[in-house]
């Protein structure tokens, strides 16, 4: 089996920009380089036309009106704009926000920021599979609740929250519903009307577009959502987000969205088959390993799996020819186990030895096979070296051992 190393299996951190997207962007660097806000000459008109087309492509992917798309620098900015923008705009109506412990830091830290300035935030727990409890959500709602923010798909474990059901609850209670849909859009069907979403954050680079360009969907009717802008200036993006439009990024985002709309179903089916085969083989050939996150409600190309009795960093070292992560890329520099896995009740030891495999559009079947083989042999090799595995085989319950922590 011949594969080119290193193999990229970190598509939930970012994706390769599709060559077709790159081709679409290039002309807007060298020829059509106008400012989309320049109304007085053809350079501006051409740029504006390109932005309009891309806005329609992005809107179409999520079933929105083009006027409901606000371009931002990425999903982190979109999350900040949505949550802070609502908290400020609806401050007279209430000061309570509900979110979930397994959200991305861009949501959690934005909420923490608001807490520091006097807002009140409820962080819902998740069950062992990573799903929230809708009854707990309903119970957390107060007459001061102005916003519920729940991610569509989790970045570490791929778990899909019941967005449609949450949308219905929000509608019934007259609460604005924001979802961080960064990992979902372009990977699985995501339609704002069907799901009853009022605000949705997403970004191009997770769906084979360029980095540095994202969007916030802002509902225009039933209800018309208002936001306080977080970046002031020339009043671009209907006043929601000032700043000269990133025309090259937007063109690439549009092209990436169009490709996802056309190819998503086939991509998802192929990735799910590859992921399922990988998962089945690892579970069959490696004793004492477990899949993290709900296996039914999960992104098609993601597999998060923990291997007992081996340590994560040494496992990553053994898999140095594979680009993958032991969780979120944003926290991979820290030696702390993942807060997402902890929220699922995964113990520190298992959380330390968890890997996230992220398959994508450009992942080849032989690459998945090569990685699967390598994981099986490395886990076996490290267990051969592991005193914990030896104790386990002797029948010792490790929780009864008197350790000497440092």
Partner 1 sequence: MPYSDKVLDHYNNPRNVGSFDKSDTTVGTGIVGAPECGDVMKLQLKINADGVIEDAKFKTFGCGSAIASSSLATELVKGKTLEEALQLQNTDIVEELALPPVKIHCSVLAEDAIKAAIADYRQKNGIAE
Question: Between residues 321 and 366, which has the closer beta carbon with respect to partner 1?
Answer: 321
Residue 323 sits in the site that holds partner 1 (CB under 8 A) = no
- In sequence order, the β-bridge partners of residue 364 are none
Residue 30 CA to residue 32 CA, distance in Å, equals 6
Residue 303's CB is within 10 A of a number of other CB atoms, namely 26
Q: Extract the tokens encoding 371.
A: 């990685």
Minimum distance of partner 1 from residue 230's CB (angstroms): 35
Q: Say if residues 61 and 209 touch (Cβ distance below 8 Å).
A: no
Minimum distance of partner 1 from residue 335's CB (angstroms): 7
Residue in 162, 124, 164 with CA at minimum distance from that of residue 145: 124
Residue 311 sits in the site that holds partner 1 (CB under 8 A) = yes
Three-state DSSP class for 290? strand
Scanning 95-103, 155-163, 224-232, 388-396 for contacts with partner 1 by CB under 8 A, the matching segment is 388-396
Among 37, 188, 330, 388, binds partner 1 (CB under 8 A): 388
Q: What are phi and psi of 46, to 5 degrees?
A: -65, -40
Minimum distance of partner 1 from residue 205's CB (angstroms): 24
Question: Between residues 261 and 349, which has the closer beta carbon with respect to partner 1?
Answer: 349
Q: Could you check whether the bond before residue 223 is cis, i.e. omega within 30 degrees of 0?
A: yes
Residue in 266, 251, 319 with CA at minimum distance from that of residue 10: 319
Q: Extract the tokens encoding 342.
A: 């902890």
Residue 406 sits in the site that holds partner 1 (CB under 8 A) = yes
170 assigned to active site: no
Residue 364 CA to residue 380 CA, distance in Å, equals 25
Place of tokens 């009106």: 65
Residue 60 sits in the site that holds partner 1 (CB under 8 A) = no
Residue 348 sits in the site that holds partner 1 (CB under 8 A) = yes
Residue 397 sits in the site that holds partner 1 (CB under 8 A) = no
- List 111, 260, 289, 330, catalytic entry: 330
Residue 110 CA to residue 214 CA, distance in Å, equals 17
Minimum distance of partner 1 from residue 392's CB (angstroms): 11
Size of the site for partner 1 (CB under 8 A): 25
Biggest CA-to-CA distance, the chain: 80
Question: Between residues 191 and 377, which has the closer beta carbon with respect to partner 1?
Answer: 377
Residue 404 sits in the site that holds partner 1 (CB under 8 A) = yes
Minimum distance of partner 1 from residue 348's CB (angstroms): 5
Residue 396 CA to residue 390 CA, distance in Å, equals 9
Question: Between residues 143 and 384, which has the closer beta carbon with respect to partner 1?
Answer: 384
Residue in 45, 50, 44, 48 with CA at minimum distance from that of residue 27: 50
Scanning 122-130, 194-202, 250-258, 348-356 for contacts with partner 1 by CB under 8 A, the matching segment is 348-356
Question: Between residues 120 and 314, which has the closer beta carbon with respect to partner 1?
Answer: 314
Minimum distance of partner 1 from residue 389's CB (angstroms): 8
Among 256, 310, 343, 344, binds partner 1 (CB under 8 A): 310
Place of tokens 């007279």: 92
Active-site residues, by number, are 330
- The residue ranges that bind partner 1 (CB under 8 A) are 309-314, 317-318, 335, 347-349, 352, 384-390, 398, 403-406
């Amino acid at each position: 089996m011949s594969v080119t190393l290193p193999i990229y299996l970190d598509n939930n951190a970012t994706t390769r920009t599709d060559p077709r997207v790159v081709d679409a962007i290039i002309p807007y660097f060298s020829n059509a380089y106008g400012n989309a806000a320049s109304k007085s000459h053809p350079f501006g008109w051409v740029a504006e036309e390109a932005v309009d087309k891309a806005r329609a492509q992005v809107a179409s992917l999520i079933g929105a009106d083009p006027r409901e798309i606000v371009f931002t620098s990425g999903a982190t900015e979109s999350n900040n704009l949505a949550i802070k923008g609502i908290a400020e705009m609806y401050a007279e109506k209430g000061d309570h926000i509900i979110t979930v412990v397994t959200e991305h830091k861009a949501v959690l830290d934005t909420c923490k920021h608001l807490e520091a300035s006097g807002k009140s935030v409820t962080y819902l727990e998740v069950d062992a599979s990573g799903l929230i409890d809708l009854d707990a959500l309903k119970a957390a709602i107060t007459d001061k609740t102005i916003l519920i923010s729940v991610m569509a798909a989790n970045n570490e474990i791929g778990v899909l929250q019941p967005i449609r059901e949450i949308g219905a609850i929000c509608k019934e209670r007259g609460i604005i519903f924001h979802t961080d849909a960064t990992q979902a859009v372009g990977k699985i069907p995501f339609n704002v009307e069907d799901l009853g979403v009022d605000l949705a954050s997403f970004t191009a680079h997770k769906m084979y577009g360029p980095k540095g360009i994202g969007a916030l969907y802002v509902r225009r009717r039933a209800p018309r959502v208002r936001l306080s802008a977080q970046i002031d200036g020339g009043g671009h993006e209907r006043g929601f987000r000032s700043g000269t439009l990133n025309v090259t990024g937007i063109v690439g985002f549009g092209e990436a969205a169009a490709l996802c709309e056309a190819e998503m179903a086939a991509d998802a089916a192929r990735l799910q088959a590859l992921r399922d085969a990988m998962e089945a083989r690892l579970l069959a050939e490696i004793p004492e390993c477990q899949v993290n996150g709900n296996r039914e409600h999960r992104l098609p190309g993601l597999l998060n799996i923990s291997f007992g009795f081996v340590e994560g960093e040494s496992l990553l070292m053994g898999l140095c020819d594979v680009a993958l992560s032991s969780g979120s890329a944003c926290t991979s520099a820290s030696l702390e186990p993942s807060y997402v896995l902890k929220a699922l009740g995964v113990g520190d030891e298992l959380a330390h030895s968890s890997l996230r495999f992220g398959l994508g559009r450009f992942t080849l079947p032989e690459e998945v096979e090569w990685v699967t083989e390598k994981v099986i042999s490395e886990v076996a090799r490290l267990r051969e070296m592991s005193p914990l595995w030896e104790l386990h085989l002797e029948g010792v319950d490790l929780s009864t051992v008197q350790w000497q922590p440092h």
